[in-house]
Amino acid sequence: MDRKPKNSQRRREILRKFSRTVGKKEARRIQGMKEKDQTVWFGFGMFGVVGWSVAIPTLIGIAIGVWIDRTWPSQFSWTLMLLIAGLMLGCLNAWYWVQKGGISR
């Protein structure tokens, strides 16, 4: 008879500890989900991604435009047209990465 109360008391203490541990871990997980994208390093990384996603298509457009202008001269400036096209493509690309990164949410 003396054994049952000790076992049930021990069981309750184990369940209480387990519940506290699970509760703490769940609170940390919820807090982490709320703040996962809020770090300074994440912000700097997104600046880099957005910057490069605009710069690379723009530079590629300029390079192709200069090559076309030197190879086949015409009255139209392919450099200027492809600069604008590359910039527009880069802006669309940056918008995609910002949406994917969750900054606009």
Per-residue pLDDT, averaged over 7-18, amounts to 88
Residues 20 and 52 in one domain: no
Residues 69 and 55 reside in one and the same domain: yes
Query: Residue 60: what pLDDT?
Result: 97
Residues 27 and 50 in one domain: no
Q: Are residues 43 and 22 in the same domain?
A: no
Q: What is the tally of structural domains in the chain? A: 2
Structural domain boundaries enclosing 7: 1-36
Is the pLDDT assigned to residue 1 strictly greater than 60? no
Q: What is the pTM of this model?
A: 0.58
Q: What is the mean pLDDT of residues 35-52?
A: 75
String of DSSP letters for the chain? --HHHHHHHHHHHHHHHHHHHHHHHHHHHHHHHHHTT-SHHHHHHHHHHHHHHHHHHHHHHHHHHHHHHHHS--SS-HHHHHHHHHHHHHHHHHHHHHHHHTTT-
Same domain, 18 and 69: no
